[in-house]
A and B are shown apart, each in its own frame.
Chain A
């Protein structure tokens, strides 16, 4: 079995665990009891490789991910779990602090509800289950010490577009845990995540790079339409539905794209690029959602109303 140690800002080293001759403590592991519909290991991804065709990947809601690691006493780039629409159950072989952030979801330990606690002291052998969120769609779960997952191109993030990184979670999968770390004494009531909760979510964007390809009516429509997130919504991007923009088919030579790009394909219904977006695209990008607000888009569900507010 291979274990890894991760440190922020530099390439993850991989080493092989010495054979276990029955001496010393058992290595601590996290075991997946139930995987849920789409759970994966994430760290802060593979930035800086877009020129090689490699998406940055990383958590869809980076703010909640970083918060989970901080609450668990880990560096922000430590591998942790991204749970989409709940359905996850895990158990640990060693008692650890576990932080849960992002979309608020029913939590149980051995079947007993423990809702509202952003950090748990999870005893060895107990089963922590994450149900379907009440609001938002992605819940983050960080274990003190972090997960040990095989890095690919320097990151343990699963990229659902290219297939780079560790496999998505499945029942029975085991992940080694790094040495437990002391957790910070911070007021946990301040540890909240931003998720859409009823009513429209408003996200800010900057015009460009290709907004001038669109006429005034299209640009007006983009900012006044109560867009709905469609069922075609994953870590690659969120397609929005509503009265389509009229621009029609514009093929540009492929050009680099960024997270948050609002790309308009020939259908006229925008797509907002998320963590696993392709590094280049040929449809015009009318605007880019701000870094501050793109995490909120990563928490939207099909049917959620999204309003796009331009920064002037």
Chain B
């Protein structure tokens, strides 16, 4: 079956990017140097990369993806977007239709290159307090690895303020940035097959409250009874990108 035989699809026809799309809007065709990880991404410059008929992938450079995503959602034309997906260093934007991808690129550029109109840090967000019982199964072992008492691990985790960076991996799985330097550990070498909802865990500079029903390779230090993800609720998420989260120790 050749493409010509495909009947008209329910998508808008291909369109030629208008003149306002500069070479910087599309990823260059040049071959990268041998060590791609070193030159990638280009520092200090936001880049739009095409991600399919309806998508642009934004490399945020020195701006926080959560803040970029929030700024994009605040635009009057954001109603024409199907998805705005912040991740570790990027924001994926997917339009409802393939028409006007060049116009969309221009709109994104005004958001990304706008000076003064937007804060450079993450959006203020809400402050959400989550009570935690610090009695996770991994607490004694990681305390020993870190050279701390379990109580001190709990105290340091509970003393921090965390940011909801982005969701990924599973429905409701929110990556919270901001684990103190002294508590950073690589993930477990062998993930657990299933982790219950409410388990609080750490890995690297991130902490998470498991949404339930997923495997998990993070170090489990506690548990909360607060439901942060509930598919029967509207909306299902208690946390949103950009929120600030603090954990409050409660006694077992």
Contact = CB atoms under 8 A, between A and B. Distances in A.
Interface of A: 11, 47-54, 62-63, 66, 152-153, 162-164, 192, 194, 196-197, 199, 201-204, 206-213, 215-216, 250, 253-261, 278-280, 285, 288-293, 295-296, 309, 311
B50 A207 contact: yes
Contacts of B26: 208
Given A164-B171, A261-B52, A201 B1 contact: yes
The 7 closest A-B CB pairs, nearest first, are A256-B92, A288-B52, A253-B88, A256-B85, A209-B49, A280-B168, A53-B167
Contacts of A206: 50, 52-53
Interface in B27-62: 27-32, 36-37, 40, 49-55, 57
B190 interface: no
Nearest to A197: B1
Contacts of A257: 51, 92
Contacts of B88: 253-255
B1 A212 contact: no
B85 A280 contact: yes
Q: How many interface residues does chain B have, given as a range?
A: 35 or more
B112 to A, nearest CB: 16
B231 interface: yes
A116 to B, nearest CB: 19
A311 B69 contact: no
23 contacts: A50-B94, A51-B69, A51-B241, A53-B170, A54-B172, A163-B213, A192-B7, A194-B1, A194-B5, A202-B3, A206-B53, A207-B27, A207-B50, A209-B49, A209-B55, A253-B90, A258-B52, A258-B94, A261-B52, A292-B9, A295-B9, A309-B3, A311-B14
B171 A53 contact: yes
Secondary structure at the B interface, as helix, strand, loop or mixed, is loop
B9 A51 contact: no
Given A256-B57, A260-B52, A290-B53, 11 more contacts: A50-B83, A52-B167, A52-B172, A54-B172, A63-B10, A162-B170, A194-B1, A255-B87, A280-B85, A288-B55, A292-B6
B86 interface: yes
A288 B9 contact: no
Considering residues B51, B83, B173, which has the most beta carbons from chain A within 10 angstroms of its beta carbon? B51
A158 to B, nearest CB: 14
Contacts of A153: 171, 231, 236
A52 B171 contact: yes
A307 to B, nearest CB: 10
B247 interface: no
Nearest to B4: A202
